[in-house]
C-alpha cells in the first residue's frame, strides 16, 4: 500500500486503520462502524523517526519472509 504523508506532518507515531468491507461502496466505509463481512487492521505509522525494532517484510511468489530485530 502506498500513501502520502504531508510534508508538514510533525514527527511521531500515528495509528492507521485499514478496512476492507465486502459489497460496500468505498465512500460509505466508516472506520468505526460494524460491517457484515470484511477485515480491519490497525498499524503504527512512524513519521520522521526510527521505530523500535525495525521489521522488514518481503514476499516472493508464495513464500513470505519476515526479518525482525530481537
Does residue 5 lie in a domain region?
A: no
Full residue range of the structural domain in which residue 60 is found: 12-68
Per residue in 20-61, pLDDT (tens digit) is: 888 888 778 888 888 788 888 999 888 887 666 766 666 566
Count up the domains in the chain and report the number: 1
* Spatial distance between the Cα atoms of 35 and 61, rounded to a whole number of angstroms: 31
Instruction: Answer with the residue of higher pLDDT: 26 or 8.
Output: 8
Q: In the prediction, which pLDDT does 70 show?
A: 46
Residue recorded with cell 508538514: 8
Decide if 48 is inside a domain: yes
Q: What pairing do the DSSP bridges indicate for beta strands 55-60 and 63-68?
A: antiparallel
The pTM for the full model equals: 0.58
Q: What is the pLDDT of residue 8?
A: 92
6 inside domain = no
Q: Does residue 7 sit within a domain?
A: no
The answer to whether position 57 is within a domain reads yes
Q: What pLDDT is attached to residue 56? A: 63
Amino acid at each position: 500500500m502506498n500513501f502520502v504523508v504531508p510534508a508538514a506532518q510533525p514527527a511521531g507515531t500515528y495509528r492507521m486503520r485499514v478496512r476492507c468491507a465486502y459489497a460496500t461502496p468505498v465512500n460509505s466505509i466508516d472506520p468505526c462502524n460494524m460491517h457484515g463481512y470484511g477485515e480491519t487492521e490497525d498499524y503504527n505509522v512512524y513519521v520522521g523517526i526510527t521505530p523500535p525494532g525495525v521489521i522488514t517484510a518481503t514476499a516472493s511468489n508464495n513464500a513470505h519472509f519476515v526479518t525482525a530485530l530481537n
